[in-house]
Structure 1
Amino acid sequence: MALSNNVIGGINFIAVLLSIPIIGAGIWLATEPDNSCVKILQWPVIILGILILVVALAGFIGGFWRIPWLLIFYLVAMLVAIILLTCLVVFIYMVTIRGHGHLEPSRSYLEYHLDDYSGWLRRRVRSSYKWDRIRSCLGSTNMCPELNQNYRMAQDFFNAHINPLQSGCCKPPTQCGYTFVNPTYWISPINTAADMDCLQWSNEQTQLCYNCDSCKAGLLANLKREWMRANIILLITLVALVCVYLIGCCAFRNAKTEDLFKKYKQGYV
């Protein structure tokens, strides 16, 4: 029984270590400017990681100190945590499966359209109340001013691989036909009827295209990219956690069988 308990404790120590990538993924999301403005995914990931950490610690203590009720709690609670993590991984995949950038002639950067993204994500930015808060947060970052520092000439800017947020929020849509002055100052649109965003564009540096659907789409494109990266970490951790849990279940069953056999030999059964 002692050997089996040590094995269970060791296995649960691995589960403790597996909670670290989950918590780390949540913290990484929280440090990204766009995620810190939206505040959707990072806290569920961090909370779930902490939950797995606490449950794994309970199993670790229960294994080494031979506390049966704590091991039973671990088995039930970890199963619940694994189910929750599985649901989170599937959810992230489902809401990020749609959406992509569009190429424009003579441009290296991509353009983004709001309708390309999942309905759940679109609802996170369509509400004026929610968007006003997100817009204010994005406006406080340095993402647009840094374009003026990096690109002086029009062709240099057109050949740049700027991120989706900068493409959607810091410049007007390419199809509007605005003339480049600098990355955040454009004049003389050719076709303002091409897109409603053409009318939303403002050379006022606090406004730019923050009220445009292209800015919302650029935000969702950025979120999608970061969430997919985080989801890869969560998926790998989930697979490892399931393996650890199944091994732990087998070790717990063997320990109970060993204990029952020992009692049988001693005449208790």
Structure 2
Amino acid sequence: MTYEGVLTKMQTEFGDPIQYYLVFENSFLNVNQLFNKSIEINFEGYQCLNCKKKKKIFRQGCCYDCFYSSASVGDWIMKPELSTAHLGIEDRDLAYEEKVQLQPHIVYLALSSEVKVGVTRKTQVPTRWIDQGANEAIAIVEVPNRYLAGITEVALKNHYADKTNWRKMLTNNVEHVDLIAERLKLESLIPAEVKEYFFSEKNDLYQMHFPVLEYPVKVNSLNLDKTPNFQGKLSGIKGQYLLFEDGTVFNIRGSEGYIVKISV
């Protein structure tokens, strides 16, 4: 079987284990069904996810021009504390920013490589945690806009990591931490204007069970620009990564906008 199209992040379904789907324009593939099968990935070109033109991808699935002009990749995406829609102030497109920023957001602790703090829209729970390869995650606060979530994250970044060590995450080199107990310890660190939203009693710990036959001891990242043809046997999926028997790992989300042909 051959599947061809533009890579976008895998769609997921929360379950035991998590189900993964590659979705193309004219077909989709349940990736879980490919374990122990030989897969060939061929790089065919680029297509910007924003303007749809066949232009080299710069970042986040966008060509250079779209990365610096599209509202969907403004600085407030990566730095929620820069959100200004709640003040009626536009960054690139106020209507889009109001739609995304002025909705319930969660600040959370996740156990992916170590305990990390992060922000996501409430509608993205638990998808966000699956995408980053978290073994466990728990909400700290639920706030009405992205700005309040951002300033909470900034306050907590002095005490917790805010990025995942992808190598530790993919080798499952993760020390267990009691996230419920950890949440109770941080109430005093939360900004005053957010304290009313703090979850103190709620037992809402999520546990993610990823479909992995065997975790690699060492990992080597596949870069389609440098290796346009790759063949390997699939042994696991974690976060947005495909894991292969030889230790090669392929970041699907990091390759959004790449046109590929996948043969099974």
TM exceeds 0.5? no
Structure scoring higher RCO (CA < 8 A, sep ≥ 6) equals 2
Q: Answer 1 or 2: which has greater strand percent.
A: 2
Q: Answer 1 or 2: which has greater helix percent.
A: 1
TM-score normalised over the length of structure 1: 0.28
